[in-house]
């Protein structure tokens, strides 16, 4: 009897284990349930450098801008379009079962957005400026009121009217002349970030005939209300390389400055004091500035201080001096000042010293106050300094994970600081802070239509040990009551490049996942600046693989801590974050059930070898120059496209835009084709190409959420969540 009893217990335990194991298995969905996916033709191209050959069977997918814009498609262009459209059709076929869910998600997401809405007005040069939205309209309406908010509204630009009949429209760079009579603005109708600057007479409502093509969009008015400074782009590389002065009402434009170093971006803006036109030049490692008196727009630009190979800094004009935010002998930056008539570096004097544990990321200047945006322990802080009384204090926010930043503050003579605040549970909020009284007033909080109770969600901040002993901050949010027993699906987001910090901000869109039981996490991996400048330096160039291993270590530990399991973990990243996704699935595919890679930068070596591709030369100090053998072989070791191998990969959704100027569409297209050819699993691999858009996806206020609904439906389908 004892033996029988033991056998029965063993059977029961085995049954329970089997049931548990079954519940932990990935959803029983695979590619064999659908028609065969497209198979891209393989035409081997041998790419040789440093006595090393790479064979690229999909190099033929690259099209020039001329091929894409031609009225009659050539044979290669037609072949590429046929392939992309076939992939779109396959994605549509696979995702057809989620069509109702996608529509529900879209309506749910859009339904939380207050359709008739407007921003908090700010005051500048006698007018209150704000942006408003009307129900059912996709684009913003830019407005102002003179002196008082009680006065009649004046519409500066209705982007809905400008966008009529277009598949894509984006207006930017709105800039009113000093006499308040003329609006300069820029528009992109292709999603290639090639803007045409136009001018509008605000007294008559008529557009001037002046059109300036091929610009970055931004600009600056001289104080004469006639001369407008702008930046042009190289038509092939899209590199910003020249500053021009255009005289309104004429066809004249005068070259003011030309940047000959292709590793620099350039641009032009006006100082907050309105005294200077400032030309800025910036590479990954160096900054440079030229000054023009805004009252004398034809004068020759004057260099602020001689350019150095390694020196990053920003300048702000105040009364008779400049403040400088600089990393000169200060990895995390310090603040210095110099007289406006003696701006070279030998005249700089320290105002706020460097600290090893605090990154100074931004400053704002007022008549009596200096406000400093700082980063410490992956959180932002606002430091208020009274310049006359030599007193200072910090604002307290009281949440474990949040983001607070200086907002729009165009006025000098005020004691009011406008700042923004958000957290994973608190909707985006705009505050006016009285720096004299140390009191804050909530001016506006993002309204979540249908209601949102922050207390119904839990936010956490973890510090996870990486394999080399560095603690990686991770911010999490989930709905209260979600069981953290390894059964919850978890979406782990990260970026990790260019020093861009991914802050824990609120998203009403994200509620659609949280309310369905998902945990959402942000891994603040190296390559950003969440933990200071060293955090960035440790995740770029020859330290780039730290970015990937940090993410993998965070994913692994979240599984170990029972926040989720490998069967329910999803990774997501876009652009350079898409590179992260590509590297991670090559290195540790077993950790994930699904991956979403948006506009992913995955063909690293080929792109960085081709200086005709937009933005390549600007980024040698970020990734390395593969013309140097050490950089080439290091980049090759992690380049997702080059490292695709015969192994199993998780379910994957890859998105791109045909007119993307940041990451060319052929990178993700080639990557998907190679993955299809080599992967040994039967998991889903989907490619979605927006044939009308670029890096930012669809234009319009609501249309972009259809793309998010697709991404969410992809994960929910894998979780067998149908509602």
**pLDDT tens readout for residues 682-720:** 999 999 999 876 555 555 667 889 999 999 999 999 999
pLDDT reading at 143 higher than 90: yes
β-bridge pairing 490-493 and 519-523: parallel
What is the CATH classification number for the domain harbouring 68? 3.40.50.1820
Phi, psi of 672 (to 5 degrees): -65, -45
If asked whether residues 718 and 645 sit together in one domain, one would say yes
Integer Cα distance of 272 and 409 in angstroms: 9
525: in domain: no
If asked whether residues 201 and 279 sit together in one domain, one would say yes
User: Which stretches of 64-142 are DSSP H helices?
Assistant: 65-69, 75-94, 99-111
Question: Which tens digit of pLDDT belongs to each residue from 325-380?
Answer: 999 999 999 999 999 999 999 999 999 999 999 999 999 999 999 999 999 999 99
* Helices 704-718 & 99-111 angle (0-180, nearest 10): 130
Integer Cα distance of 240 and 274 in angstroms: 24
128: in domain: no
* Residues facing 371 on adjacent strands: 364, 384
101: in domain: yes
β-bridge pairing 45-49 and 265-270: unpaired
Check 263, 423, 565, 575 and give the catalytic one: 575
Residue 326: the pLDDT is: 98
If asked whether residues 91 and 218 sit together in one domain, one would say no
Residue ending a domain, among 311, 345, 369, is 311
187: in domain: yes
- The two counts, helices (H) then strands (E), for the chain are 14, 38
292: in domain: yes
Q: Which helix (H) or strand (E) holds 717?
A: helix 704-718
Residue ending a domain, among 252, 278, 311, is 311
If asked whether residues 104 and 176 sit together in one domain, one would say no
If asked whether residues 179 and 289 sit together in one domain, one would say yes
Tokens 């059912």, residue?
136
Catalogue the E-assigned strands of 86-204: 117-118, 122-124, 127-133, 141-146, 154-158, 170-176, 182-188, 195-201
What is the CATH classification number for the domain harbouring 182? 2.130.10.120
Integer Cα distance of 568 and 679 in angstroms: 21
Q: What is the mean pLDDT of residues 195-219?
A: 93
236 versus 605: the higher-pLDDT residue is: 605
pLDDT reading at 583 higher than 70: yes
- What are 609's two structure tokens? 């070898």
Q: Which range is least confidently modeled, 14-23, 187-196, 544-553?
A: 14-23
If asked whether residues 300 and 181 sit together in one domain, one would say yes
Q: What is the mean pLDDT of residues 272-299?
A: 95
Q: Which helix (H) or strand (E) holds 160?
A: helix 159-162
Reduce the DSSP state of residue 548 to 3 states and report it.
Answer: helix
Q: What percent of the chain has pLDDT over 90?
A: 82
Q: Which range is least confidently modeled, 7-16, 135-144, 612-621?
A: 7-16
What strands lie across the sheet with 471-479, from one edge to the other? 457-465, 471-479, 519-523, 490-493, 569-574, 594-598, 651-657, 685-690
321: in domain: no
If asked whether residues 105 and 179 sit together in one domain, one would say no
Tokens 């009949």, residue?
165
Average pLDDT over the chain, rounded to whole? 92
Question: Which tens digit of pLDDT belongs to each residue from 413-425?
Answer: 999 999 999 999 9
67: in domain: yes
Reduce the DSSP state of residue 76 to 3 states and report it.
Answer: helix
With bands split at pLDDT 50, 70 and 90, how would you rate the model's confidence at 1?
Answer: very low
How far are the Cα atoms of 59, 115, 270, 449 from residue 688, in angstroms, in the given order?
A: 19, 28, 41, 30
343: in domain: no
Residue 662: the pLDDT is: 75
pLDDT reading at 655 higher than 60: yes
Integer Cα distance of 709 and 104 in angstroms: 8
Q: Which of 28, 6, 137, 31 is nearest to 91 (CA)?
A: 31
Residue 9: the pLDDT is: 31
> In the chain, how many domains are there?
2
pLDDT reading at 456 higher than 50: yes
**Catalytic residue check, 82:** no
**Catalytic residue check, 660:** yes
536 versus 23: the higher-pLDDT residue is: 536
What strands lie across the sheet with 349-352, from one edge to the other? 313-318, 321-326, 334-339, 349-352
pLDDT reading at 273 higher than 60: yes
Check 56, 508, 660, 699 and give the catalytic one: 660
If asked whether residues 297 and 184 sit together in one domain, one would say yes
If asked whether residues 173 and 85 sit together in one domain, one would say no
Question: Which tens digit of pLDDT belongs to each residue from 504-529?
Answer: 999 999 999 999 999 999 999 999 99
Tokens 């105040």, residue?
318
Integer Cα distance of 311 and 592 in angstroms: 41
Residue 68: the pLDDT is: 79
pLDDT reading at 23 higher than 80: no
Where in the sequence is the domain holding 299, given as residue range(s)? 166-311
* Residues facing 171 on adjacent strands: 187
pLDDT reading at 10 higher than 60: no
Residue ending a domain, among 291, 311, 331, is 311
With bands split at pLDDT 50, 70 and 90, how would you rate the model's confidence at 66?
Answer: confident
Q: What is the 3-class SS of 414-427, one letter each residue?
A: CCEEEEEEEECCCC
* Helices 75-94 & 666-678 angle (0-180, nearest 10): 60
If asked whether residues 640 and 712 sit together in one domain, one would say yes
pLDDT reading at 308 higher than 90: yes
- DSSP letter string, 372-428: EEEEETTEEEEEEEETTTTEEEE-----SSEEEEE-----SS-SEEEEEEEESSSPP
Q: What is the mean pLDDT of residues 600-612?
A: 93
- The backbone region for 378, taken as left when phi is positive above 0, alpha when psi lies in -120 to 50, beta otherwise, is left
How far are the Cα atoms of 85, 228, 373 from residue 240, in angstroms, in the given order?
A: 33, 17, 28
Q: What is the mean pLDDT of residues 40-59?
A: 96
Residue 696: the pLDDT is: 52
Integer Cα distance of 245 and 256 in angstroms: 6
With bands split at pLDDT 50, 70 and 90, how would you rate the model's confidence at 40?
Answer: very high
Residue 4: the pLDDT is: 34
Integer Cα distance of 411 and 481 in angstroms: 46
pLDDT reading at 227 higher than 80: yes
With bands split at pLDDT 50, 70 and 90, how would you rate the model's confidence at 21?
Answer: very low
If asked whether residues 177 and 96 sit together in one domain, one would say no
Reduce the DSSP state of residue 355 to 3 states and report it.
Answer: strand
**Catalytic residue check, 69:** no
pLDDT reading at 14 higher than 80: no
């Amino acid at each position: 009897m004892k033996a029988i009893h033991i056998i029965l217990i063993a059977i029961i335990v085995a049954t329970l284990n089997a049931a548990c194991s079954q519940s932990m298995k990935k959803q029983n969905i695979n590619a064999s349930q659908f028609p065969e996916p497209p198979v891209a033709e393989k035409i081997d191209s041998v790419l040789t450098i440093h006595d090393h050959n790479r064979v690229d069977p999909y190099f033929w997918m690259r099209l020039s801008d001329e091929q894409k814009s031609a009225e009659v498609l050539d044979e290669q262009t037609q072949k590429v379009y046929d392939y992309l459209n076939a992939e779109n059709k396959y994605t549509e076929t696979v995702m057809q079962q989620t069509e109702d869910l996608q529509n529900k998600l879209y309506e749910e997401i859009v339904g939380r957005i207050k359709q008739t809405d407007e921003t908090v007005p700010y005051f500048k040069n006698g007018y209150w400026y704000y942006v408003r939205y009307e129900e059912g309209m996709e684009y913003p309406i830019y407005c102002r009121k003179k002196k008082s908010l009680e006065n009649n509204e004046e519409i500066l630009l209705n982007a809905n009217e400008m966008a009529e009949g277009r598949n894509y429209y984006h207006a930017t760079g709105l800039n009113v002349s000093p006499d308040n009579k003329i609006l300069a603005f820029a528009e992109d109708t292709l999603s290639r970030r090639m803007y045409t600057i136009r001018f509008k007479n605000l007294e008559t409502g008529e557009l001037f005939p002046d059109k300036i093509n091929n610009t970055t969009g931004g600009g600056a008015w001289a104080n004469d209300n006639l001369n407008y400074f702008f930046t042009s782009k190289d038509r092939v590389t899209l590199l910003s390389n020249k500053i021009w002065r255009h005289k309104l009402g004429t066809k004249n434009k005068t070259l003011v400055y030309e940047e000959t170093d292709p590793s620099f971006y350039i641009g032009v803006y006006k100082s907050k004091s309105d005294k200077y036109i400032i030309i800025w030049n910036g590479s990954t490692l160096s900054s440079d500035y030229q000054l023009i008196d805004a009252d004398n727009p034809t004068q020759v630009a004057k260099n602020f201080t001689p350019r150095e190979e390694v020196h990053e800094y920003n300048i702000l004009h105040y009364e008779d001096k400049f403040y400088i935010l600089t990393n000169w002998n200060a990895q995390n930056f310090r603040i210095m000042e110099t007289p406006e008539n003696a701006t070279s570096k030998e005249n700089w004097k320290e105002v706020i010293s460097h600290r090893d544990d605090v990154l100074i990321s931004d400053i704002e200047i007022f008549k009596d106050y200096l406000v400093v945006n700082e980063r410490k322990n992956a959180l932002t802080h606002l430091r208020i300094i009274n310049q006359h009384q030599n007193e200072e204090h910090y604002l307290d926010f009281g949440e474990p994970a949040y983001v607070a930043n200086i907002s729009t503050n165009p006025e000098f003579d005020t004691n009011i600081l406008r700042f923004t605040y958000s957290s994973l549970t608190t909707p985006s909020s705009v505050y006016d802070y009285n720096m004299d009284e140390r009191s804050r007033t909530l001016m506006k909080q993002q309204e979540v239509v249908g209601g949102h109770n922050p207390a119904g969600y839990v936010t956490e901040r973890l510090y996870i040990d990486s394999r080399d002993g560095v603690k990686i901050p991770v911010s999490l949010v989930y709905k209260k009551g979600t069981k953290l027993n390894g059964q919850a699906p978890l979406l782990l987001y990260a970026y990790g490049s260019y020093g861009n910090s991914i802050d824990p901000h609120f998203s009403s869109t994200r509620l659609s996942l949280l309310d369905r039981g998902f945990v959402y996490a942000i891994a603040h991996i190296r390559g950003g600046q969440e933990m200071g400048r060293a955090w960035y330096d440790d995740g770029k160039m020859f330290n780039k693989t730290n970015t990937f291993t940090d993410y993998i270590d965070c994913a692994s530990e979240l599984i170990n801590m029972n926040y989720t399991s490998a069967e329910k973990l999803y990774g997501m990243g876009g652009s350079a974050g898409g590179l992260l996704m590509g590297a991670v699935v090559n290195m540790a595919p077993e950790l994930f059930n699904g991956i979403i890679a948006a506009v992913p930068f995955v063909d690293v070596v080929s792109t960085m070898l081709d200086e005709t591709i937009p933005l390549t030369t600007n980024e040698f100090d970020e990734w390395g120059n593969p013309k140097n053998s050490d950089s080439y072989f290091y980049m090759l070791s992690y380049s997702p496209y080059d490292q695709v191998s015969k192994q199993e990969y998780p379910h994957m959704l890859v998105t791109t835009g045909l007119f993307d100027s940041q990451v060319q569409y052929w990178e993700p297209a080639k990557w998907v084709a190679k993955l299809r050819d080599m992967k040994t699993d039967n998991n889903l691999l989907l490619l979605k190409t927006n044939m009308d858009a670029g890096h930012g996806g669809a234009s319009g206020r609501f249309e972009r959420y259809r793309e998010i609904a697709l991404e969410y439906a992809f994960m929910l389908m894998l979780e067998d969540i149908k509602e």
